[in-house]
């Protein structure tokens, strides 16, 4: 299907992966353990139960630290991108990808997070990776922290609750800019910074069981979040100082909410949800906490300890662009208690009768992507980058082929809406589909939840040849990129 493309000429079409879901090699070349290495695969997990999918208890951490098992800890093996990145980049190049979003495993450079100097083998790996990308004309977009903080900092510093972690992270960020800045211009600081309350362990290293009440845990999470905001601003400052033309973005999970009905109370609920979602990017774009959050803290006795100068740091070092992940929309209603729910990784919501749902119960809403793009642009007036979007599906490998027309249909419908957003004046920098090659799922640690244009022959327990196989969608995306979005 051909249509007029409104995508900018230099639009960065690409794909995205994260170190902890792709690299594997969890304990080689001096790498330390990260929070991802204790995430256990739980067979027969309830697809809607996202809380227990993500939850890691103190007992589970202890157990995980005692074992070298990689069968039930799939993020330790990933898809072996650490050793196979050249082959994978060659496939991305063949697809025509102009950009690849990756993250750096903090623990590959600083095994505990506390060290002053990085491990050379870790630096060498990323230099090789970024050089290879440049050689293939694939622009790197790099996340400094994607759910993979050093486990040591969780066990010895209460994660991001401790102020000292800010300095450790900033040291890590400066090392990244120093060694990789000549190859990498586009940076993201924290992946889905708003996920602090959905899965605090993975995001800020907060173990909720350590706190005597929900209230105390909530306070600790806001404290940890404040530290990430400050660290993000400082990383932005140093990126700007150390790398010529560096562009730094924030990264939000856009969880768009609609009112179920025109009942103004439903509209208020949806509006409240959306403002709470925007709170995170508001801080990173406007450089200050919004009044409604300050009031919330006051009225709920949440005390965030700040160091003198924090407010200036937030104000002075705001982001250059806004990036976000987009998977689904949700519904708000005053009557939602009694209504049928659907859900998944991120949110549970009242079922939207106008939308399809994925194999994992996520509500597929392409028009919601256009709405999100327009709303975000109107709010921030900054260029936008969709850095995650895609559908997790069960793919079948038959006679060496995967006919994933459902994936093509998903992307086609989302790209049409992006094109319309561009037509309506939204400034878009690029689009990186999530898991452009199959990787381990963040929430369920499954391999069978596949997002890729490239199939990886491995099952949930890690059996398989790990051979890479091009799916039908591979050839389709190749055409899309070549035509800059005109051939869908
Ligand atoms: C996002 C994360 O929330 O969703 C990714 O940033 C993750 O790391 C993606 O993989 C899809 O979620 P899942 O659980 O299906 O892998």
CB-based contact 362:392 (threshold 8 Å) = yes
**How many angstroms is it from 465 CA to the middle of ligand 1?**
24
Q: Distance between CA 240 and CA 3 in Å, rounded? A: 39
Task: Report the b/e string of 390-402 with b at 16+ CB within 10 A.
Answer: bbbbebeeeeeeb
- The residue whose C-alpha atom lies closest to atom 9 belonging to ligand 1 is 442
> By C-alpha distance, which of 190, 255, 199, 192 is closest to 227?
190
And the tokens for 316?
């002075």
**How many angstroms is it from 444 CA to the middle of ligand 1?**
9
| Neighbouring residues of 372: CB distance < 8 A, sequence distance ≥ 6 | 254, 256, 324, 326
- The residue whose C-alpha atom lies closest to atom 7 belonging to ligand 1 is 442
| Neighbouring residues of 212: CB distance < 8 A, sequence distance ≥ 6 | none
CB-based contact 102:143 (threshold 8 Å) = yes
pLDDT in tens, 411-436: 999 999 999 999 999 999 999 999 99
Query: What's residue 351's pLDDT?
Result: 85
Q: Distance between CA 281 and CA 374 in Å, rounded? A: 15
- The residue whose C-alpha atom lies closest to atom 15 belonging to ligand 1 is 441
Q: Distance between CA 129 and CA 86 in Å, rounded? A: 8
- The residue whose C-alpha atom lies closest to atom 12 belonging to ligand 1 is 442
Q: Distance between CA 169 and CA 232 in Å, rounded? A: 9
Query: What's residue 46's pLDDT?
Result: 72
Query: What's residue 340's pLDDT?
Result: 73
Task: Identify which of 203, 388, 433, 437 to mutate to test ligand 1's pocket (most ligand atoms within 8 A of the CB).
Answer: 388
Query: What's residue 92's pLDDT?
Result: 98
CB-based contact 205:224 (threshold 8 Å) = yes
pLDDT in tens, 218-243: 999 999 999 999 999 999 999 999 99
What ligand 1 atom has the least distance to the C-alpha of 449? 15
What ligand 1 atom has the least distance to the C-alpha of 443? 14
Q: Distance between CA 322 and CA 377 in Å, rounded? A: 9
- The helix (run of H) or strand (run of E) holding residue 12 is strand 12-16
Answer yes or no: is pLDDT of 289 > 90.
Answer: yes
Cα Rg of the chain (Å, integer): 21
Handedness of CA 397, 400, 404, 405 (dihedral sign): negative
And the tokens for 161?
């609750």
Main-chain dihedrals φ then ψ at residue 252, nearest 5 degrees: -115, 140
What ligand 1 atom has the least distance to the C-alpha of 441? 16
CB-based contact 186:247 (threshold 8 Å) = yes
Confidence of residue 447 (pLDDT cuts 50, 70, 90): very high
Query: How far, rounded to the nearest angstrom, does the alpha carbon of residue 410 sit from its chain's CA centroid?
Result: 19
CB-based contact 285:356 (threshold 8 Å) = no
**In percent, how much of the chain has pLDDT > 70?**
98
Task: Identify which of 442, 448, 449 to mutate to test ligand 1's pocket (most ligand atoms within 8 A of the CB).
Answer: 442
**How many angstroms is it from 432 CA to the middle of ligand 1?**
13
Q: How does strand 139-145 pair with strand 186-190?
A: parallel
Cβ < 6 Å from ligand 1: which residues? 18, 21, 191-192, 253, 325, 345, 388, 392, 434, 441-444, 449
Answer yes or no: is pLDDT of 3 > 90.
Answer: no
Count the Cβ atoms, other than its own, within 10 Å of residue 1.
7
Answer yes or no: is pLDDT of 346 > 70.
Answer: no
- The residue whose C-alpha atom lies closest to atom 16 belonging to ligand 1 is 441
- The helix (run of H) or strand (run of E) holding residue 145 is strand 139-145
Query: Catalytic residue among 23, 132, 139, 192, which?
Result: 192
- The residue whose C-alpha atom lies closest to atom 14 belonging to ligand 1 is 443
Average pLDDT over residues 382-411: 97
Answer yes or no: is pLDDT of 14 > 90.
Answer: yes
Confidence of residue 45 (pLDDT cuts 50, 70, 90): confident
Query: What mean pLDDT, rounded, does the chain reach?
Result: 95
Residue 288 annotated to the active site:
no
What ligand 1 atom has the least distance to the C-alpha of 53? 14
- The residue whose C-alpha atom lies closest to atom 4 belonging to ligand 1 is 442
Confidence of residue 359 (pLDDT cuts 50, 70, 90): confident
Task: Report the b/e string of 136-158 with b at 16+ CB within 10 A.
Answer: eebbbbbbbbbbbbbbbbbbebb
Please tell me the least confidently modeled range out of 50-54, 172-176, 188-192, 263-267: 50-54
CB-based contact 430:395 (threshold 8 Å) = no
Per the listing, tokens 């929430």 go with: 443
Query: What's residue 223's pLDDT?
Result: 98
Q: Distance between CA 143 and CA 190 in Å, rounded? A: 7
DSSP state of 38: G
CB-based contact 106:65 (threshold 8 Å) = no
CB-based contact 273:258 (threshold 8 Å) = no
Confidence of residue 339 (pLDDT cuts 50, 70, 90): confident
Better-scored residue on pLDDT, 126 or 48: 126
Q: Distance between CA 472 and CA 480 in Å, rounded? A: 13
Q: Using CB atoms within 10 Å of the CB of residue 256, give its burial: 0 to 12 exposed, 13 to 18 middle, 19+ buried.
A: buried
Answer yes or no: is pLDDT of 342 > 80.
Answer: no
Query: What's residue 343's pLDDT?
Result: 62
CB-based contact 187:249 (threshold 8 Å) = yes
What ligand 1 atom has the least distance to the C-alpha of 345? 14
Query: What's residue 110's pLDDT?
Result: 98
pLDDT in tens, 111-153: 999 999 999 999 999 999 999 999 999 999 999 999 999 999 9
Residue 93 annotated to the active site:
no
**How many angstroms is it from 74 CA to the middle of ligand 1?**
14
């Amino acid at each position: 299907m051909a249509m007029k493309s409104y995508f900018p000429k230099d639009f960065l079409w690409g794909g995205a992966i994260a170190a902890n879901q792709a690299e594997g090699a969890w304990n080689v070349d001096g790498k330390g353990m990260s929070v991802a290495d204790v995430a256990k695969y739980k067979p027969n997990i309830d697809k809607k139960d996202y809380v227990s999918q993500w939850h890691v208890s103190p007992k589970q951490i202890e157990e995980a630290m005692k074992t070298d098992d990689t069968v039930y800890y799939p993020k330790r093996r990933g898809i072996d991108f650490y050793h196979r990145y050249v082959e994978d980049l060659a496939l991305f190049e063949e697809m025509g990808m102009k950009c690849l979003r990756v993250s750096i495993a903090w623990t590959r450079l600083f095994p505990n997070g506390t060290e002053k100097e990085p491990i050379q083998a870790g630096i060498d790996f990323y230099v090789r990776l970024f050089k290879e990308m440049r050689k293939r004309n694939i622009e790197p977009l790099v996340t400094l922290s994607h759910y993979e903080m050093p486990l040591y900092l969780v066990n010895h510093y209460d994660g991001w609750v401790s102020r000292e972690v800010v300095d450790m992270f900033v040291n890590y960020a400066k090392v990244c800019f120093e060694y990789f800045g000549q190859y990498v211009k586009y940076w993201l600081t924290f992946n889905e910074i708003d996920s602090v309350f959905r899965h605090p362990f993975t995001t800020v290293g907060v173990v909720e069981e350590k706190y005597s009440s929900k209230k105390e845990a909530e306070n600790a999470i806001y404290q940890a979040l404040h530290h990430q905001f400050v660290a993000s601003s400082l990383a932005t400052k140093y990126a700007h100082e150390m790398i010529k033309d560096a562009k730094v973005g924030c990264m939000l999970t856009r969880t768009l909410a609609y009112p179920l009905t025109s009942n103004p109370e439903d509209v208020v609920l949806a509006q409240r949800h959306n403002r709470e979602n925007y709170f995170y990017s508001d801080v990173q774009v406007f450089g200050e906490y919004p009044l409604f959050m300050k009031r919330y803290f006051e009225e709920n006795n949440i005390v965030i300890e700040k160091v003198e100068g924090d407010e200036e740091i937030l104000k002075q070092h705001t982001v250059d662009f806004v990036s976000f992940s987009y998977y689904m929309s949700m519904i708000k209603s005053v009557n939602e208690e009694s209504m049928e729910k659907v859900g998944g990784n991120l949110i549970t919501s009242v079922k939207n009768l106008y939308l399809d749902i994925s194999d994992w119960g996520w509500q597929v809403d392409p028009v919601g992507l256009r709405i999100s793009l327009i709303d975000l642009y109107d709010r921030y007036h900054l260029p936008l980058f969709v850095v995650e979007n895609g559908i997790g599906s069960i793919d079948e490998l038959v006679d060496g082929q995967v006919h994933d027309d459902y994936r093509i249909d998903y992307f086609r419908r989302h790209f049409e809406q992006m094109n319309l957003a561009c037509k309506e004046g939204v400034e878009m920098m690029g689009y990186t589909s999530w898991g452009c090659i199959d990787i381990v799922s963040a929430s369920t640690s499954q391999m069978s939840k596949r997002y890729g244009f490239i199939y990886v022959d491995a099952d949930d327990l890690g059996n398989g040849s790990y051979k890479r196989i091009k799916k039908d969608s591979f050839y389709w995306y190749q055409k899309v990129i070549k035509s800059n979005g005109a051939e869908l």
